[in-house]
Amino acid sequence: MAQFDVYRNANPATRARIPYLLDVQSDLLDPLATRVVVPLCKPEMLKGKLAERLNPVLEVEGRKMAMLTPELAGVSRKMLGEQLGNLSDKRNSIISALDLLITGI
């Protein structure tokens, strides 16, 4: 598992709303049984309330997905579905969203 890997949401109860999970946890903490993830959803799910820096739009499997940064959560590694790719090339946008959420800057 690597930081910024994207996983298919394995939870059938939330998969329609949140099709993907973005792993934002540092690789230094890989031995832990949990991973910190940010849900990814279709931008239209935010109903015009997309905050550009807080909810950057990223591409997964050719689909535009918005980070639901305020819904950051820790999940068991076992709860992650299929790994689909990595968004390390969007690191600046991802870290900027997390920075805004945690520090306000």
Range of the domain at 21: 5-103
| Average pLDDT for the chain | 96
pTM, two decimals, is 0.95
At 24, give phi and psi (nearest 5°): -110, 5
Distance (Å, whole) CA 41 – CA 89 = 19
CA distance 65 to 56: 8
What is the C-alpha separation between 93 and 52, in angstroms, rounded? 10
For the beta carbon of residue 35, count every other beta carbon within 10 angstroms.
22
Task: Give 59-84 pLDDT, tens digit per residue.
Answer: 999 999 999 999 999 999 999 999 99
Question: What CATH number does the domain containing 34 carry?
Answer: 2.30.30.110
Is the distance from CB of 10 to CB of 39 less than 8 angstroms?
no
Work out how many domains the chain is built from and give that number.
1
